Amino acid sequence: MRRFNYLLLFLSALLLIKGCGKPYTVGQLFINNNTGEILYLESYIVSPLSEAPILHNLQPSESCELARTKKHSGYIDEFDISEFVNNTDATIKIYSLDQYGDKTVVAQWEYTDRSNNSKSIFNLSDLDYSNYYDPDGGYHPTYTFVILPEDIE
């Protein structure tokens, strides 16, 4: 009986510790190729949780994570784009590839141009928004920039 009481006490303490974890928010920034063409992506964003440039072949309907940031102050539904981008010279270039593998720039967005009226990955109002909760208490707002055929013409 004594072992059972100790086991019950141990399990209760374990559940209490597990349940006392602070909620956190991990924001994610994605880009999605909705053009029907294979595109080549060069992203030069330095974010709090991802630092290397991203070089990626983007297949039609494929998404690629560009940046991620984390907050420990609970569930936060809205982010500012500056929370994803640590470098003010951040640039994203999209290339089309010809049959020989030669690249041609078909779209480019720069962080410094985010306040103009054209569509940009650096304007949160131009991004699709979704979210989910994970079992460990994390909240994940996700922003996705969708590249459409008219964006690369």
Residue 96, domain member (yes or no): yes
Residue 4, domain member (yes or no): no
Residue 12, domain member (yes or no): no
Residue-range definition of the domain harbouring residue 120: 22-151
DSSP 61: T
pTM higher than the cut 0.85: no
Which letter, b or e, does each residue of 120-147 get, where b requires 16 or more Cβ atoms within 10 Å of its Cβ? bbbbbeebeeeeeeeeeeebebbbbbbb
Residue 16, domain member (yes or no): no
The residue among 100 and 84 whose pLDDT is bigger is 100
**What is the CA angle 32-139-83, rounded to 5?**
65
Residue 8, domain member (yes or no): no
Q: pLDDT by residue (tens digit) across 28-40?
A: 889 999 999 999 9
Residue 17, domain member (yes or no): no
**Who's near 133: CB < 8 A, 6+ residues apart?**
139, 140
Residue 79, domain member (yes or no): yes
Domain count for the chain, please give it.
1
Residue 44, domain member (yes or no): yes
Q: How far apart are CA 59 and CA 63, in angstroms?
A: 8
Q: DSSP 3-state helix, strand, coil percentages of the chain (rounded to 5)?
A: 20, 40, 40
Q: pLDDT by residue (tens digit) across 100-117?
A: 878 899 999 998 887 778
